Structures are given as C-alpha cells and as structure tokens.
Amino acid sequence: MALLEPLLELTVTAPEESLGAVLGDLAARRGRVLDSVARGGTVVVTASAPLAEVFGYATRLRSRTQGRGTFTSRPLGYERASVR
C-alpha cells in the first residue's frame, strides 16, 4: 500500500528577469518544470508540484517578482508521497 498526495499543474507568468528566482522557488517546493516559454519580456512556466507545497505560493511569488508574477493551478492527479 502506498500513500498518495494530490498534485497540481501550475502555470506561472513572471518577468524574464525573475526566471531564476521562480525556478529556484519551484524546485524548493518539489516542483518539476514541464515547459517554459518566453513572450515579450515575460516568461510562462508550466510545472507540477504537490498541493501541500503550494500553500503560500502566491505571497512568495509576488515577493520574488516585485508584485508582477501571477499563477494559476489545476488538479493534475496523484503521485506517491515522498518520505521526509
């Protein structure tokens, strides 16, 4: 038997100069980058992350992007929970 945790798909829109901070924060939240597209000074990053790691993300994203970053999320499924 395995313990499963909910997984979300995140679509993060941020200024290009904040890309490193956004990717670092996603990695710290056990996120996996699925895609990244640059569009006229902004970057759109699609990633997956466990629901438990996404709580408080809006505040952290805004502080790392000087208030210009936004994100949307949607359920993606479940995956085996990692043991800490």
String of DSSP letters for the chain: ---EEEEEEEEEEEEGGGHHHHHHHHHHTT-EEEEEEEETTEEEEEEEEEHHHHTTHHHHHHHHTTT--EEEEEEEEEEEPPP-
* β-sheet bridge partners, residue 9: 48, 74
Tokens of 29: 């939240």
Q: What confidence category does residue 1 fall into, taking pLDDT thresholds of 50, 70 and 90?
A: confident
Entry pTM: 0.89
pLDDT in tens, 5-43: 999 999 999 999 999 999 999 999 999 999 999 989 999
C-alpha closest to that of 19 among 43, 48, 53: 43
